[in-house]
Amino acid sequence: MKDVAYIALGSNLGQREVFLAQARRAIAALGKTRVLGQTDAEETAPIGPIAQGPYLNQMIAIETELSPQDLLAELKRIEADAGRVRTTRWGPRTLDLDIVLFENQAVHEPGLTVPHPELSNRDFWLRELAALRSSRVG
């Protein structure tokens, strides 16, 4: 089933702009998927208890036929290709890719909840999501 998904991209280690660009290219290259739009990148303060540098964040809208589980697996592969190592929750990372929302699906499974449970706690996600959705209208 085709659906529109909104993916949050974030990085706060190394060449942040490069990691976001690599992620956009890798997502665009996924089978049964096409990028519909992207927001400008914006710098935000880190969230959570770990002292770390600011994040560069961005969101993209994609149309995909991948299942939520398959999309998540691909996003984790892209993170790993960017050198992401999962050690500390909410710790610094080269690349963080989150499925924020699907237009026509909700998922509540171990390891995957969509809409993302932190959506209402991230003002920049709400702004980016609103910008992408308004650009698709009309």
Q: Enter the DSSP assignment of 57.
A: E
**Which sign, positive or negative, has the C-alpha torsion 90, 119, 54, 7?**
positive
Q: Which residues contact 95 (CB under 8 A, 6 or more apart)?
A: 9, 10, 11, 19, 20, 22, 23, 78, 79, 82, 83, 84
Active site residue 96: yes
Which residue in the list 3, 24, 86, 93 is annotated as catalytic? 93
Check 96, 122, 127, 136 and give the catalytic one: 96
Strand partners, 42: 57
Given 98, 122, 123, 127, the catalytic residue: 98
Q: Which of 24, 77, 84, 127 is catalytic?
A: 84
- Active-site residue flag, 84: yes
Residue 132 in contact with residue 37, Cβ under 8 Å?
Answer: yes
Q: How many other CB atoms sit within 10 Å of the CB of residue 89? A: 8
Amino acid at 122: R
For residue 136, indicate whether it is catalytic.
no
Active site residues: 84, 93, 96, 98
